[in-house]
Structure 1
Amino acid sequence: MRNWKYFRLIIGTVFFLILPPSLVIEKIEKVQIYSKVVAQETKKYSDRLNEEKLQTEAQQLDEKAKQEVENGELETALQTWQQLLDIHQKLGDTDKIAATLHSIGTVYYQLSQYPQALASLNKALKISRELEDTAAISKTLNEIGVIYDRQGKYPKAIEFYEEALEMAKKETDNVNITAILSNLGLVNSRLARYEEAIDFYQEFLQHDPPNKATILTYIGAVYRYLEEFSQALKFYQQALEIYEENEDLLNIATTLDNIGVIYRGQEKYSQALEYHNQALSIREELGDQDGKSTTIHNIGIVHRESGKHSESLEFLTHTLILDRQLGNLNGERISLADIGKLLEKNNQPELAIIFYKKSINITEKIRKDLQVLPIEEQRSYVDGTITDIYRALANLLLAEKRAIESQQILDLLKVQEVFEYMGDMKYDDDKSNQVIMLRLENIFTEKYTQFLDEIGKNDNQNQDISLEKLVTIHDFIGSEEVTEIRSEIKKKAKSQRLTPEMLILLQAQLKEHKKENAAVLYPLILEDRLELILVTANSPPIHRTVLVNQKEFDRVLFAFIVGLIDRREVNDISDYRVIRAGLKLYNWLIEPIENDMKNGRVKTIIYAPDGKLRYIPLGALYDGEKWLTERFKINNITAASIMDLTPRRNRNLRILAGALTEGNYSFAIGNKQFEFESLPFAGVEVEKLASIFPQTKKLLGDDFSKQFMELRMASHSLIHFATHSAFVTGSPEDSFILYGDGELASLREVENWNLNGVELVVLSACETGKGKQLGDGSEILGFGYQMQAAGAAASLATLWRVDDQGTSEFMNDFYTALKGGINQVGAIQKAQIAMINSEYNHPYYWAPFILIGNGF
């Protein structure tokens, strides 16, 4: 065989030798071409086999990832999707790359890893835009909107939803259109834009979707929230008809519960119980333990509101046991709070306080993961907001003369208010926000927990709890042992021997300000009274109660606000409305603690205003002879600064100052229209500032841009904005700062600023929401918090749109005082007194400037 090969080789060689050279070359070229073709075809065949193999593998990975997602194996699914992405990238399947990136983004979303989700979805969106794939663009825009929605960034979510809807309508993608309309309805209801929400829901219904009943339920929930009960009832009943037609027992039960809540709101308690009991029968038939907990809680609330406290306690206890068995922390905190409210109504304040404290401690534990739920998704028995529980506990502690404990709750209340306004917050993982429990309260909690565990024990798997076991809750609450605990709590709590950790820390902070002789003032506005707490460096908190009806308080407060912004010339100062209202407010807020401040030689008030008090400057209160700012320095604090009052030693200020010197601007944010002109004296203000501090970096006109400012903030210790800005009720995106080139920065965007090392941010021409519709002042609290969360020690803002020239004068006096070595809080007082003694003596000119944060 080997010889035969040699023979063939020799024959072939001879054959080529006897041919003419030209033919030999031609033959060789043909052989080369043939070989090349064979190689190419072989490669194509090999590539095709490899491609088919990769496509088969891709299909298997796709099915595997979907199954993993369905099984809840999200981390594993993420790895599988990533392998699939690598294959599509090798194959160059651009549309499939986009689809896989979309899938990866949705898995990251389900894992609550929002930055990664957005990064992946934005990559998918970019590819889909390049491919002009309208359907894919719409779905990805909607998914991005959902993530912003989940983060509480509602206007951003709306922006993506609206573009998604526009794209979906081009494709006439009915399924995607209805999904987006539903999302737009939900997000608008969160923003209290109820008419817009209902419009989107109604448009949704026009598409006659299969889940029509769900949207009818959402519309009913909006009307319920508006307390338009007859309208709510109409939509709930329409939804119920559809669910009954489809024999959808789970949703039938939920809708029966919703209808029961409406009747409860109308104080038709027998009808409410009828519907809740129907729902309960269905829940038990289905074995729906979570739904059963909701319904039993609803029944407990009906009994409480109708005055049947004994029955209410049994049902609410049953709910609490179910929530604990289900591991439902959110339900548990609500049940605890509602039992607390019941015990408070039943004149058992010591026990009510324990239940409120336990509820708040669970809230503090889970707040990092809390999301602002749309009203349609809240458990149907939830009334009010989370802050109502904090306020109820602070109110009860003050009524029981337990001022030290209430001081911590008031601090936490302010933290929670910021959380609800901003939607998220930065946290110090090393700092505990748990409410301090007394030793006897812990003893009761331990015994109560043992009692619940005993009731919850049962042999059957459906976790039924007999009524006989629940009745024993009354024996437990009324037992001699619990009665003794209550008596001892009452005796020892009033002795004020408690020294909570936060009080010790706060007093240690105050002791650092020996020269300032600072004290912290906490007012709390309640329906029938005003509660005042004064914390000084060397003595227990001082507590004073002022009896004033909230309606009367609001009337005087509003008259004070009107007087503050009224510039009409009045010859006799005593005729000023601001004087009359300011004197009344002084008598309510300051006079009751005046002797205590004199005894403590207080010179500086660190002020933690509550609710609508945030709309007025404390320094403008009038004692009959002087404005309060003439007697005290005043520093407002937020949740971020309440435990950081360390004096600043740096007087080497590096200032960055921008001014709106030209242009007119008109724009709408939400449903509010803003009209702004340039500020003629803003340039003068910045020039005067630069003359006092020659190293000031000035940005005027178009140079005062968003990009330029944000790049340079971190390298300066004081940032000055001589421009329009507004803090308005609503969401953080509705509050903004206007730059010289017309760009806006929302309050939400401030969280991305780098203000580390910045001692003070000054906004010299801002305003807050005003008029007849005042909010709770959370936008002002949120502004101060956001500046400090970004790294700034403090911020100086104005409460209303101020006189341009008067502001220039104030700023000149303020910065002159800073140059002289006075700290920020002292410089504000000095500047305000200078204006009081000048032609700008009306509080309109000098009173709006408030310092928020650490002004020491």
Structure 2
Amino acid sequence: MNGHWNGRINQGLSNIQHLLCNQGWLKSVRFALLGLLIAISLHAGIAVAIGRTLDRQAANQGQPIEITSQPLQPSTIAPVQLVQQAEEHYQAGQISEAITLWQQAATHYEQDGDRLNQALVLSFLAAAYADLGQRAQANRAIADSLVFIQTSNLETPNAHLLRAQVLTVQGKLQLAQGQAVAALNTWQQAEVAYRQTNDSSGILGSQINQARALQAEGLYRRAITLLTQVEQSLQNQPDSRLKMTGLRNLGKMLRLVGNLAQSRTVLEQSLAIAQKLDDKTPASDISGILFSLGNTVRAQGDTNTALDFYQKAIATAPSLTAKTQIELAQLSLLVDSNQTAAAQRLLTQIQSQLAQLPPSRLALYAQIDLARNLVKLGRGASVRGSQTLSGGDGSGLPSERLKTSAQELAIAIQQIRASGDARAESYGLGTLGSLYEITQQWNEAKTLTQQALSLAQSIDAPDIAYQWQWQLGRIFCQGQQPCSLAGSLPNATIAYGSAVKTLQSLRGDLVAVNPDVQFSFRESVEPVYRQFVDLLLQSAGNAPSQENLIQARETIEALQLAELDNFFREACTNAHPVKIDQIDPQAAVIYPIILPSQLAVILALPNQPLRYFKTPLPQAEVERILTQMRQSLRPTAFVEDWLPSAQRVYDLLLRPIAAELAPSQIKTLVFVPDGLLRSLPMAALHDGQQYLVEKYSIVLTPGLQLLQAQPLERQRLHGLLAGLTQARGGFAALPNVAVEINQVKAEISAQVLLDQSFTDRSLEKMIDSTPSPIVHLATHGQFSSNADNTFILTWDGRINVKQLDQLLRFREGNLTPIELLVLSACQTATGDKRAALGMAGVAVRSGARSTLASLWSVSDRSTASLMIQFYRELGKPGVTKAEALRRAQVSLLHQDDYTSPYYWAPFVLLGNWL
């Protein structure tokens, strides 16, 4: 399979290499499902938008590519018929044909002096231009449309409806172009226009759109409040198709903003109404709701249930095109969950169906989606081994299937180019390059990938450009990780560096440009950062340069931020570069990085060059060692169980640099932990003589650039203490919480919420009204890699991490910021290797400068003892938060009942340690 494919595929490649001419400067597009209410009726000479929902993929932002399609109908046809025919083409995914017909209709209306009908048609054109990434054309059309409406000066219900329709389209264009505030204002105006005609569907749709704009602007609390109002409005309505459709759209929006549990509940309500209405509900509605449910459940991680919803959606799909789209999502999930045999059976079925689809944009995208899944299957087969790409017993990918897919994709690319869809063309070219990559035809893969990248950059589409930059990096290395081709290393490094830089430019937009549930951070983003760090740390027998070490450190910190962004499904915080010397001249920062073939450690000492050392070990072996230490820290373990593991990890992380710490008078070790290291208690590492915590204060942080370097002002020690002593919500009682809170109150002045008084509302009210620099929550809680499953327990329920974020930040700008947040009885989710990500998420998003939390839930008696000692030490002059925790832990480990690290090691300080 290393030779060239012959016949049609080579001809297709030859043709594709000449596709990139005269594309102009285009802007990026984002994939998102939009509900566009488009139906045509005539009244008083005005074509009015009324309620029919059309799900489609929407693009945005682009300079015009002139549509050169020949008119499909004679120009003498009445404009209303042209509009209706255009709509039929649009629904079928034939965007260019629809544009041609709408252009003809707009010309007719202009000649007749019918500016309002012309305005409506221009709004349709704007949406269609946006689908093709033609931003300037779309903006011009919508601006002309608004001018025509404003100059008409009509105040009729139909005129208000028309204005609302045009404003709705304008808002979508603005949001797609990153203008969230402008989009919010436009959709508020649209809501006013809809209210003037009592159009409840339009009102609710405008509010859902506003919530999306608020979320994009980072105003999460306002977005949730508005969505809650929408849901209440819908629930108060009688069951109807309008209510069903509104709940369906709301469910999609809730998924996009990360509220998966609520999304599922709302979608299930929508489905129940659809089934209740029975024969009044089109099959397309039922299929669409089931598809959305599958996507939401998939995002929750429930693969089997998601596959079941997809199967039901397929069974009720109203057309072969709709069926194929759902099957592609099903195929993607089968591939992601390593159900290879089922995936290959479905792939064969889809491949045969594609030939039967009518020519359309959706059919072309389906061809690309199929090829991308084939690439993922191929890469999975490559990892699995020897049967790869050879046919044989079916465990690999038959070469004939790859040839066929490449041939069909090459033809589809040329059809896409004829339609003017530059984004799809870039996707197609890059995906074809991926097929050549997995068959190790490096020259062809490089040529196609470079063409795809050039096109993506010409339309300013960073969300796909980074994928081709990453792909180029892999191709330069010819698939070898780490890259062992010395001559290709500089080119690979440049390509990877460009990919990381592009990802950095996206940050908060990363989820927005990939709202599709099929997007996987761990597959599509994380490897880019890690592989780039691996390249930077490679050298021809010499240590990496300072420049490379600095860049590697910055890259691993950037990965930490990207993981938090993905955790919250939005940009979590603003980062500001800072040097350790500017924070604490007696602190060292340690960056342990888990790479495929080594454990790398970068050490930053104040006013000194970066140090670097590595231990050549496969990633699986490193993770085995870390897991072994974590599992040894249990209450029933003996010293012989945990000590060897604690010493082994010390040897990996600190032994090579231990001698350099003492001359620098280091007192605090700041770890920027990676992967499984986040859930490991660094305090329990042992050098053969003593635990690390007996010598150094220890703190964790996702990165120095997140720190707010300001010490706690001791004269202001005042706290808000809240806790549960009784069993609630399936969690056991914590009788010693009362002792903990009472004795902490004896150390600092505080207000207390205990048991029945500790509710969501009372906590919010107290935080809002009390300028306490310390918030201490002694209650059950859980940290998880899923934001929905990261929560603290109150008397009346759970507060998840996003609600906690809103609650704690509510007073920002009004009262004293939270200096220290203490979560004294929380734990990382069992079996979740990335659960400590939830702890970092709470620490960063709480708005607190420092967070003290536990990696696992410990005996509440020992916890109470440690917390009391912590506050006692914190009140002493010159004692930092990190040092207060160190002293409290050392005090506990010297008590006969608590010598095991299980009792004192899980408590970690995150953020500012001063």
| TM band (smaller chain) | 0.7 to 0.9
Would you say the 8 A contact 1:243–1:251 is kept in 2?
A: no
Give matches, 1:84-99, under 5 Å: 84-88=193-197, 96-99=198-201
The question of whether the paired residues in 2 share the 8 Å contact of 1:333 and 1:360 is answered with: yes
8 A contact 1:759–1:792 mirrored in 2: yes
Deviations 1:364-386 (A, max 9, x none): 2122222163666559xx99131
Does the C-alpha gap of structure 1 residues 665 and 777 become closer, same or farther in structure 2, counting only changes over 3 Å? closer
Structure 1 position 222, deviation (Å): 0.5
2:687, 2:890 → 1: CA distance? 15
Are the aligned partners of 1:404 and 1:540 in contact in 2 as well (CA < 8 Å)? no
Q: Which residue of 2 aligns with 1:330?
A: 463
Determine the structure 1 residue equivalent to 2:698: 634
Q: Quote the residue 1:705 is aligned against.
A: 759
Counterpart check, 1:102 vs 2:212: no
- Please point out which of 512, 521, 536 is paired with 1:397: 536
- Which aligned pairs between 1:760-839 and structure 2 lie closer than 5 A? 760-771=820-831, 774-775=833-834, 777-787=836-846, 791-821=847-877, 822-839=879-896
1:50-85 CA-to-partner distances (Å, cap 9, x unmatched) read: xxxx99921343355446756877779858744643
The residue type paired with residue 179 of structure 1 is G
Q: Does 2:239 align with 1:180? A: no
| 77-86 or 701-710, which deviates more | 77-86
Match of 2:452 in 1: 319
Gaps of 5+ in 1: 1-53, 89-95, 433-501, 667-675
The whole-number CA distance in structure 2 between the counterparts of 1:273 and 1:235 is 18
Aligned residue pairs total 696
CA contact (8 A) 2:325 2:366 kept: no
Partner-residue secondary structure (3-state), 2:269: helix
Distance in 1, matches of 2:233 and 2:850, equals: 44
Q: Deviations over 1:601-629 (max 9, x none)?
A: 21110111100001111010111110110
1:746 equivalent to 2:800? Answer yes
Task: Report SS of the residue matched to 1:696.
Answer: strand
Give distance in 2, aligned partners of 1:658 and 1:79.
40
Deviation by residue 1:790-825 (Cα, 9 ceiling, x = unmatched): x21111111111011111111121111112232210
Matches within 5 A, 1:137-216: 137-172=243-278, 173-174=281-282, 175-210=284-319, 211-216=322-327
Could you tell me which runs of 5 or more consecutive residues in structure 2 were left unpaired when the two chains were aligned. Answer: 1-152, 175-182, 382-387, 390-396, 478-482
Q: Name 2:118's counterpart in structure 1.
A: none
CA distance in 1 between counterparts of 2:300 and 2:415 reads: 38
Q: Which residue of the partner structure matches residue 128 of structure 2?
A: none
C-alpha distance after superposition, 1:76-100 (max 9, x if no partner): 9858744643533xxxxxxx44223
Give the conservation status (yes or no) of the 8 Å contact 2:782–2:790. Answer: yes
CA contact (8 A) 1:636 1:850 kept: yes
Whether contact under 8 Å (2:866, 2:892) holds in the other structure is yes
More helix by share: 1
- Report the Cα distance in structure 2 between the residues aligned to 1:120 and 1:603, rounded to whole angstroms: 49
Tell me by how many angstroms 1:582 deviates.
0.3
- 184-193 vs 639-648, which moves further: 639-648
Written as runs of structure 1 = structure 2, the 5 A alignment for 1:224-623 is 224-248=335-359, 249-251=363-365, 253-254=367-368, 256-258=370-372, 260-261=374-375, 264-265=378-379, 266=381, 267-268=388-389, 270-271=399-400, 272-286=402-416, 287=418, 289-344=422-477, 345=483, 346-347=485-486, 348-371=488-511, 373=514, 384-400=523-539, 401=544, 402-428=548-574, 502=577, 505-510=578-583, 513-514=584-585, 517-568=586-637, 570=638, 573=639, 575=640, 577-623=641-687
- The offset of 1:226, in angstroms, is 1.6
Given the superposition, is the C-alpha separation of residues 412 and 70 from structure 1 closer, same or farther in structure 2, using an over 3 Å criterion?
closer
1:825-844 C-alpha deviation (Å, 9 max, x unpaired): 01111011111211211111
Q: 1:133 to 1:810 in 2, by over 3 A?
A: same
RMSD: 2.9
Check whether the contact 2:601–2:614 (CA below 8 A) recurs between aligned residues.
yes
**Over residues 685-737 of structure 1, what are the superposed CA-to-partner deviations in whole Å (9 max), with x where a residue is unaligned?**
111111222x22122220122211122225211111111111023x2011110
Distance 2:899 2:837 in 1: 29
Amino acid of the residue matched to residue 579 of structure 2? Answer: L
Deviating more after overlay: 154-163 vs 221-230: 154-163
* Equivalent residues of 2:587, 2:605 under 8 A apart: yes
CA gap of 1:746–1:422, structure 2 versus 1, over 3 A, is same
Q: 1:426 to 1:419 in 2, by over 3 A?
A: closer
8 Å Cα contact 1:639-1:785 kept in structure 2:
no
1:853 matched to 2:908? The reply is: no
Measure, in 2, the Cα distance between the counterparts of 1:785 and 1:80: 35
Contact 2:328 / 2:370 at 8 angstroms: preserved in 1? Answer: no
1:691 to 732, 738, 746: 746
Distance in 2, Cα, partners of 1:110 & 1:848: 39
Match of 1:484 in 2: none
Please give the TM-score of this superposition, normalised by the length of structure 1.
0.76
Give the aligned residue type for 1:737: I
Larger radius of gyration: 1
Measure the CA separation in 2 of the matches of 1:689 and 1:300.
63
Provide the rounded CA distance (Å) in 2 between the counterparts of 1:795 and 1:580.
30
Q: Is 2:784–2:837's contact at 8 Å kept on the other side of the alignment?
A: no
CA distance in 1, matches of 2:312, 2:601: 50
CA distance 1:769–1:424, change in 2 (3 Å): same
Q: Report what 2:726 is aligned to.
A: 662
1:48 maps to which residue? none
Compute the displacement of 1:565 (Å): 1.7
Change (3 A) 1:688 1:82: closer
Post-superposition CA distance 1:773-797 (Å, at most 9, x none): 523742232222222xxx2111111
Give 3-state SS (helix, strand or coil) of 2:371's partner: helix
Query: C-alpha displacement at 1:337, in angstroms?
Result: 1.5
